[in-house]
Structure 1
């Protein structure tokens, strides 16, 4: 392991400009070494090392402690500890096998008309000036997952507000807000009660939704946790991709014109690689292991810097350039291995349809202002003020 000449890496206390654009910071650390160690945490910056950690069974999601939520928030803690993303085999395998059917390409394809209708409804009567996040990027994916879960339309606004409150419990935000876990616990209680009642309804009167599929196959707490996890994971990540794609394209007129006639699969992959919706994800070493020449002891926390790996010049030619027809390797934005994003197929269809319709409806536009929350894990603006040209 190279002795670093840089300050110890940390995801806290970044300057606002670096939060908006973390890639120059990542580049400095990755150029010096693929892995940096600070306060006992191993930060992985290179694509090769990230791929090793994400795909190896030596690295898992369990720390051996009580999970990512501190004691004193029992409902939130139980819910998060049952999320698919925090499970290891064999329970992860069992739960994923139940859910894979609902997220298969054929099922997602059958949702295209409903996804299109949701996007068109949100974009109807788009004003001359508006907040992109509030008007489209945030509600669009939450409405799609609500449709998949069988949540009635009159509850969609409420569900979105609870999803936003629940995200306050994420590690980056909780570190800066002493009331974050209290806010998230309140939302978790509301969501627990709602999805528990919905599951009971589906037990006696099943439908063609995901909740009906899980009843009888999963325990009550697992049903609730899975509903909430799908809702939050699909909400925040897709919101970030749409918002950041518009920002990226607004600064690149040629790329924007190229996508006016339709958003291609290659363009989606490139936009997700270029500015990742999730910048970091944690793993724990279950054995002593060496990665990229660095010895990682058993029990160590490992943070895979997805955004850094996706800009690694050893993997991608001119990684800081947006190339909508790029054909030079796979990004790690959706993960790898057993924890590869369950909703990746759904997210791609949402982006193809939603971003395509949005760009067509926007016409010529400018971005007047952008505000980012302090979150170096779920990374994206919480406000993008857009003005359509006359």
Structure 2
């Protein structure tokens, strides 16, 4: 078996990576290649994601975005997902108070209204990603942040450009960091201006709540407000888009499950769809101290990649007894998980009846196994 890599996947394997994951998992819960420990087993994944022995940056500074252009580096360094304690703990505490479940509850009627509008007057044949899966989360996040709806298309373009900096995409495009840096500059200017406006004219949106927390003396810098806005926008829109699209693909070959969910999408169904095919297939960690995972010693400074898709289908733990890692675990559990669940429950609940009987005509995946989801799903509805 050749050493595992996150790069150079075939189109067939990108569309369905789980047979690849299963082969490596059958050979062992962890594999080593190019100085990286790849974790496939469920129990080992849970251990890495929840243990304080592992963090987002190595003790020597590895894993920090120091090699990125300046604007992109400043932006990404203030994303909650790239911080370790104690700063992570402080910022997460502030954001948990401001981004409360009640904020999402109050947003549910708008999610339903946006989804219904996107599904109105569907043509017989259309691209599910372009028509519904991509615009729904960016419009919802625009509502959450208090961004004018007219800017959603521009924001999605900027979000897509910013994601070019991910390691897999950057490896395939020599201009990736330059493209992402331009997007970072524009987004930073945009959200600094929005925060300044909300300071003078507060509303009931998340930007206003964060600016209000800052003026009350909470330890929240302007760079962190901007970083949080952009992180929610980029990570939140792409991951939800991926789950929406991949859920339709999964259900298209499972008519019994599709018929059941057309009658109502439950919270349990959303959880299972995320587990079955996560929107992010791999997340990185670094060993902050000497550790042992699945019986293998990992010296401090070891880079670790946790294969969430593999862990979520580990036959030793599923279909019963395992923990869904699709939203992460531990201190880096997804800040926007409650919002994502609401979007998926409401969005799929309206989408599946609107689709009726349908066929999938074509599917195209970008060459990225980490942020995993199709950029085009053309479907035809039966008349």
Alignment partner of 1:104 out of 72, 93, 100: 100
Unaligned runs of 5+ in 1: 1-5, 318-326
Task: Say yes or no: does 1:170 pair with 2:163.
Answer: no
Q: CA deviation at 1:206?
A: 1.5
What residue in structure 1 maps to residue 129 of structure 2? 133
**Once the 2 structures are TM-superposed, how far is the Cα of residue 266 of structure 1 from its aligned partner?**
1.4
Q: 2:305 is paired with a residue of what secondary structure?
A: strand
What does residue 7 of structure 1 align with? 2
Partner of residue 322, structure 1:
none
Listed as ranges, the matches of 1:288-307 within 5 Å are: 288-307=290-309
Residue 101 of structure 1 and its aligned partner are, at CA, apart by 2.6
Residues 1:73 and 2:73 are matched in the alignment: no
Structure 1 residue 68 displacement after superposition: 4.9
Q: Aligned to 1:101, what secondary structure does the other structure show?
A: helix
Q: Deviations over 1:188-245 (max 9, x none)?
A: 1110110011111112222111111222242111111110001011101100000000
Q: In the alignment, which residue of structure 1 is the partner of 2:49?
A: 54
Q: Return the alpha-carbon distance in structure 1 between the equivalents of residues 266 and 64 of structure 2.
A: 37
Equivalences, count: 376
In the alignment, what sits opposite 1:320? none
Q: Distance in 2 between matches of 1:256 and 1:348?
A: 18
The residue number in structure 2 matching 1:331 is: 324
* Superposition deviation, residue 171 in structure 1: 1.2
Tell me the CA shift for residue 97 of structure 1.
1.4
CA distance in 1, matches of 2:265, 2:99: 21
2:208 match: 212
Aligned to 1:34: 29
> Aligned runs of 1:214-293 on 2, under 5 Å?
214-215=210-211, 216=214, 217=218, 218-293=220-295
Determine the C-alpha separation between the residues in 2 that align with 1:195 and 1:347.
Answer: 22
Mapped to 2, the partners of 1:362 and 1:166 lie a distance apart of 32
> Where does the alignment leave 5 or more consecutive residues of structure 2 unmatched?
none
Greater Cα shift, 212-221 or 52-61: 212-221
Report the counterpart of residue 25 of structure 1 in structure 2.
Answer: 20
Q: Is the 8 Å Cα contact of residues 103 and 345 (structure 1) preserved in structure 2?
A: no
> Which secondary structure state, in structure 2, belongs to the residue aligned with residue 26 of structure 1?
helix
Moved more, 68-77 or 299-308: 68-77
SS in 2 for 1:259: helix
Kindly report structure 1 stretches of 4+ aligned residues shifted beyond 2 Å: 63-72, 101-107, 327-330
| Residues 57 and 64 in structure 2, CA contact (< 8 A), matched pair in contact too | no
User: What secondary structure is seen at the aligned counterpart in 1 of 2:243?
Assistant: helix
**Where do residues 136-147 of structure 1 align in structure 2 (5 Å cutoff)?**
136-147=132-143
Match of 1:361 in 2: 354
Give the Cα–Cα distance (whole angstroms) in 2 for the partners of residues 72 and 46 of structure 1: 32
CA–CA separation in structure 2 for the residues paired with 1:61 and 1:86 = 6
Aligned residue among 191, 197, 201 for 1:195: 191
What aligned pairs does 1:336-355 form with structure 2 within 5 A after superposition?
A: 336-355=329-348
Cα distance in structure 2, aligned partners of 1:76 and 1:86: 13
> Equivalents in 2 of 1:100, 1:72: separation in Å?
29
Change (3 A) 1:29 1:72: closer
The answer to whether the Cα contact below 8 Å between 2:99 and 2:206 also exists between their aligned partners in 1 is no
Q: Is the 8 A contact 1:165 1:184 kept in 2?
A: yes
Q: Cα deviations across residues 27-77 of structure 1 (Å, max 9, x unaligned)?
A: 111111111011110000000000000000100001333645453510001
| More displaced 10-residue stretch of structure 1: 86-95 or 299-308 | 86-95
Q: Please identify, of 90-99 and 64-73, the stretch whose mean Cα deviation from structure 2 is larger.
A: 64-73
- What SS does the corresponding residue of 1:366 show, helix, strand or coil? strand
Displacement of 1:380 in angstroms is 0.4
Residues in 1 aligned to 2:256 and 2:43: alpha-carbon distance in whole angstroms: 32
Q: CA deviation at 1:251?
A: 0.8
Bigger fraction of residues in helix:
2
Whole-Å separation in 1 of the counterparts to 2:325 and 2:206: 27
How far apart are the structure 2 equivalents of 1:103 and 1:259?
29
Seen in structure 2, the aligned counterparts of structure 1 residues 66 and 75 have a Cα distance that, compared at 3 Å, is farther
- Map Cα deviations across residues 310-342 of structure 1 (whole Å, 9 max, x no partner): 01001003xxxxxxxxx6432111111111111
Correspondence 1:88 to 2:84: yes
Q: Distance in 2 between matches of 1:70 and 1:127?
A: 47
TM-score between the two structures when normalised by the length of structure 1: 0.94
